[in-house]
Amino acid sequence: MRNLPDSVSIREVGPRDGLQSESPIPTADKIRLIDALGRTGLRRIEAVSFVHPRAIPQMADADEVWAGMTRVDGIAYSALAPNSRGAARALDAGFDIVEVVVSASDTHNRKNVNRSTAESLDDITGLITTLHDGGATVEVIVATSFGCPYEGDTSVERVAGIIDRVVGDGADRVAFGDTTGMATPRRVDELLTRVRGDHPDVPMLLHFHNTRGTALANVMTALDHGVTEFDSSVGGLGGCPYAPGASGNLATEELVHMLHDCGIETGVDLDALIEVAELAEKLVGRTLPSGVLRAGPRTRLTATD
C-alpha cells in the first residue's frame, strides 16, 4: 500500500459548518449534539461561529451554546470569527483557537462578505494580530480552494499567493476548503504539490465536501502528500449557504470508517459516532447523506435468518 500515516487528526465541524446551513435548531439541541460528539473520542470540535445573527441566524446563540456545553478535557474546541467583532466575541468567550476565512474566488468572497479577496486579506492581517494579542492561535481557511461555483477553476497560483500572504502575516495554520465539492484527486495533487514545499512547517488541513462523490478519493490523495488533518461533519450535516447546489460535507463516520479499515487511527469510537449521526439526523429532521449512517460499517453483519 501507499505510505499511509499511522494516525489522522479529524476536526468535527458539524456543530458549526454543518448546522449553519441546516434549518435552525434550538440551543439545547446544539448543546446536546456537541456534548454527544465529545463522548466519541473526537479531539477537535469546531463549536460555534461568532457571525452576525442577520448573516447566519443559525449561529445567533453562539455564546449560549458555548456557555452551556460541557467542555471535555483533551478536546480542542474552536470558533470561527468572520471579522473583528467576531474575533472580539471569540476572545471574550475564552476561545484560544480561532478560524478566519477568505475565499480564493473574488466573486465567492463578495457573495459571502461583500468584499474582494484582497480586502478580506487586509482584514485578516489585522485579525491575526488581534487574536494573537488575545492569546489565541489563528487558522486561515481558504474557501473555494479547488474551484468556485461562480468562476469555475481556482488557479493553484492564486491559492499559493494567499497562503504566502497569510503565513507571512503570522497565521499559525491554514486550511483548504472545497466549499462546493469541486475537488478531485488531480486538483488536490496539484495544489498540495505547489504549496507544501514552500511552508513545510505550517500545519495544513483539508476540508472536503462530497457533492460529487470524490471526498474520500481526495482524502487518500492528501494522505499521499503527508497531510494528516481533515475536517468532516457528523452525518454529513451541512453544505454551504452561499453556494446553490452545494450539498454535504464529508460525513465524519465515512471518513473514520475508511481510515480505520486502512489501519489509520483516529481515536474515534465509530459505533458511538454513528449513534451521534443518528441523533444529528433526528435533530435536523432530514435524512442525512451518510452511507455509513445508512448501511452501518462493513463489520456490521447481516443475520442469515
Is 15 a binding residue for its own copies by CB under 8 A? The answer is no
Q: CB–CB of 176/134 below 8 Å?
A: no
Is 213 a binding residue for its own copies by CB under 8 A? The answer is yes
With residue 49 as reference, give the H or E element that holds it.
strand 44-49
Site track for its own copies across 163-182, x = CB under 8 A = -----------------xxx
Is 96 a binding residue for its own copies by CB under 8 A? The answer is no
Identify the residue whose cell numbers are 460535507: 249
Region near its own copies per CB under 8 A, out of 82-90, 112-120, 167-175, 220-228: 220-228
Judged by beta carbon, residue 168 or residue 197, the one nearer its own copies is: 197
Is 261 a binding residue for its own copies by CB under 8 A? The answer is yes
Region near its own copies per CB under 8 A, out of 16-24, 39-47, 93-101, 186-194: 186-194
What gap in Å lies between CA 179 and CA 148, rounded to an integer? 8
How far, in Å, are 53, 227, 233, 239 from residue 182 at the CA level?
A: 29, 19, 17, 13
Q: CB–CB of 30/63 below 8 Å?
A: no
Catalytic residue status for 240: yes
Is 214 a binding residue for its own copies by CB under 8 A? The answer is yes
Judged by beta carbon, residue 129 or residue 247, the one nearer its own copies is: 247
Q: CB–CB of 282/29 below 8 Å?
A: no
Site track for its own copies across 263-302, x = CB under 8 A = x--------------------------xxx-xxxxxx-xx
How far, in Å, are 187, 214, 257, 293 from residue 106 at the CA level?
A: 19, 25, 36, 36
Q: ∠244-216-35 over CA atoms, to 5°?
A: 80
Name the active-site residue from 33, 141, 222, 240: 240
Is 246 a binding residue for its own copies by CB under 8 A? The answer is yes
Region near its own copies per CB under 8 A, out of 93-101, 124-132, 155-163, 248-256: 248-256
Site track for its own copies across 52-91, x = CB under 8 A = ----------------------------------------
DSSP letter string, 62-98: HHHHHHHS---TT-EEEEE--SHHHHHHHHHHT-SEE
Judged by beta carbon, residue 93 or residue 216, the one nearer its own copies is: 216
Is 201 a binding residue for its own copies by CB under 8 A? The answer is no
DSSP secondary structure letter of residue 46: E
Q: Which amino acid is at 54?
A: R
Q: Which three cell numbers stand for residue 52?
A: 452576525
Q: Which three cell numbers stand for residue 183?
A: 475537488
Shortest spacing between CB 103 and its own copies, in angstroms: 13
Q: ∠141-152-246 over CA atoms, to 5°?
A: 65
3-state DSSP call for residue 266? coil
What gap in Å lies between CA 13 and CA 162, rounded to an integer? 23
- State which of residues 211, 228, 249, 252 lies at the interface with its own copies (CB under 8 A): 211
Region near its own copies per CB under 8 A, out of 29-37, 40-48, 237-245, 265-273: 237-245
Residues annotated catalytic, as ranges: 240
Binding site for its own copies (CB under 8 A): 1-2, 107, 111, 147, 149-152, 180-182, 184-187, 189-190, 210-217, 219-221, 224, 243-248, 251, 254, 257-258, 261-263, 290-292, 294-299, 301-304
